[in-house]
Structure 1
Amino acid sequence: MEENFQETYDHDSVFSEFSEDTFNSEIPNVELNEGKIEKNAIGQIRKRTIVCNRKGFPDKNLNGLNKRNRISQRCNCEFRVRASLNSSNRLWYLISVQLEHNHSMVSGIFRKFMSEERTIPIEVQERILLLRRSGCNGIKREFDSNDFVKKLEHLKSQDNEFCYEVLIDPETNEFRQAIWMFPEQRINYCRFYDVVIFDNTYKTNRFGMPFGIFTEVNNYGQIFLTDEDQAIIKAVDLIFQLHGIKYALCLWHLMKNVVKNLNGILEFKWVEFIKFFYQCINNYDENDFLEKWEQLKTNYPSTIKYLRKMDKNLTRWTPCYNKQIFMADMSTTQRGESMNSLMKGYMDATTSLMNFLKAFESALEQRKEDADLAKFCGDNKVISLLTASPYEKQALELLTKYALMKTQEQLSQCMSYKSEKINSNDNEISFCIERF
């Protein structure tokens, strides 16, 4: 409902501050912008409007698939505060106020993603530059393993949900390895442990220690996915097999070893072999797979030695033996590799143990920040409809942003096909579907 007011303000900036302070105090998690401005003949502002930043509609994508259909916050919100300047007494009068929003407010924990919160005040910028010119840089210090263990103990004392294990060599008293989980990681493991990916970094740090990351997907633990490491295989069989969890080998690493060991042996027969090899492993029927697997050995006798070596872990990497297990559409440790790539942005081989732990905390915080930002965008931004199809309108109400964009792609592709009747009789009608 639009209301009329006769409040007065003696300065343009006072009116703007009043609008933002008053209405943001009543509804703190909404962002206001300056709207339409009207000027008189000599260029002085005589009318001003304060609007919600979600006013208006998203721009239509008129260039088809050549331009990305970006999501937008705008949903035609009608909130506004309008004022007029009295030329005789130079006072601002509120002439209309529309206080209702047609969208939900931003949750307090997501307010930091609003544009007005993502700027550094001028005075803070000036102080940063002053400290920089004064040589006040970050203090760099080296820490040993004792400080690292003390830090883990301190984290445990601060939060009992933090857990860690440290292995110290009993003879040399040398720090060997450590594993830890922050409380939010333990919560995530309870929610997403259906597919567990484990991958070590190919490079060790200056203490000769590799870095291993466990990455989980979904829930109801069923499978452990990693490369062909005998120590990992024994550990998984010892710990996880008792709980009915299977171990699967990464197909990417497996195919890498196949190329490495057989390409040179087969020479000109390689292309023919690898084509038949893919046909074999992509067979989801167990009997058909075993028949083609033996035929592969018969047709290419020079590969028998290596293929028999692969027989030892046949049930661990062949899709036909894992088809009944949910694997989140994964057959490789690619997600684990992506986590390694993420960590490279926070640490390297020269990072000390103490700085490593701090960098790890920063990486976790950034992942949480990214997840919060994705949820903020999902809750506060809309996607323009590409067609008048009722299916797309229904999808807008039911699907996530990502799923909706995929649905829009499919609907757009449908427009490129036509259906023609080619045959009909009393029992059936046949149609031919082809591209225009």
Structure 2
Amino acid sequence: MLWETNQHSSKDSVQRFVEEPKRLEQKLLPYDVIGNLAHVEMLESEGYMSEEEAEAAKRELKNIYNQEPKVESEDVHTFVEERVTEKTEAGKKIHTGRSRNDQVVLDTHLYMKEAAIETGLEIIELVEALEDFSKNHNQTVPGYTHQQQAMPSSTGLWASSFVDALVDDLRMLESVFDLIDKSPLGGAASYGTSLDIDREMTADLLGFKEVQQNPIYAVGGRGKKELMLLQSLNHVMLDMQKLSEDVINFSEDQQIFRIPDRFTTGSSIMPQKKNPDILEMVRAKAEEVNAAELATRGVIGKLASGYNKDSQATKKHLFSGVQNTKESLEVLSSLIESLQVSENFSMNEDVFAAYTANRKVEEGASFRDAYTDTKEQQTYETFSETPAPKNQTYSEMAKSWKRKQREFEDTKERVLGL
């Protein structure tokens, strides 16, 4: 083992305890290779590698990227270095001016940038599905307070409320993206390096907006940016949880919605059942994302400055939070696209009581007299339209996230072409 001390062997139970599960390391492999390619380019530029050495190292790094072999070493950084060194002596130089500490933060930042972009685009897809639903299904339905029919609403108004909520979520995610978009490379163990490396060059090659200048924060702050991303995902899932709960309630108790069969499951004993398992799983995944945020906060909450091994534990929470959010958004987009509105739901006539009282006010009565008179008479005027307002900002946000996606893909293509 490359980093082994004389205190124990690689088969020691202590070593197994601190090693990261290989499946988690595997997720970071493409980002580690891309980071290595940019770093080697910088080392050549600064004279720490010859042109021949750099070309040999980059050739093997690209082979690893294209083959995506299984990570077999203690971590992805060691694995990549060992694989390159097996093919060329230049591999012994690729760790120059770095620590595994700033490497893992770099890999995680690249992963989080792409994860945020993919999540943003999934949110846009759901927003578009909700907008289409709002336009195509704008039937008057009861609106609820205290889980009781209260005032007239519409399916369009209901759907567009989630559009507004998701646009807010997108704004929060974009703010987090800007904070992630800083290169930690060069922070080394947590205190920089005495070698004359060019941090701005690697940041530019890797498509970062800027360098995270303070090395203690760049590396020792590991987990904080992960927490920020999980917090933004938690807000997304909070809305997904509410949307799922609404569809379940409006399809079962109120019979307003009809959930397509492919989003339901049957019962092993009750032939008539169509259970909304997919929506129930979204509710559960929302709690898992919330748990991932809380666990990450717990891990980093009492750490001293500088790098601490505790922060390694944030990786699994980050990966699970991202996966649960993306999967939930994808399945809800498909559901909303095929969700139908029933024509045979029941609506209490008294949901029009406030509307009736307001009509009396328009005719000259004071609001309190109109309120009391309507309550005593218990006869109501009705109407059949509750317009759904359109959110005008999400189309521009969609362009912004698609631009981010193009820029990230262009960066990968450029680095792989070095």
Bin the TM-score by the shorter chain. under 0.3
Indicate the structure whose relative CO is greater, using CA pairs within 8 Å and at least 6 residues apart: 2
Query: Which one has a larger percent helix, Structure 1 or Structure 2?
Result: 2
**Relative to total residues, which structure has the larger strand share, 1 or 2?**
1
Q: Give the TM-score of the pair, scaled to structure 1.
A: 0.22
Query: Which has the greater radius of gyration?
Result: 1
TM-score (norm 2): 0.23
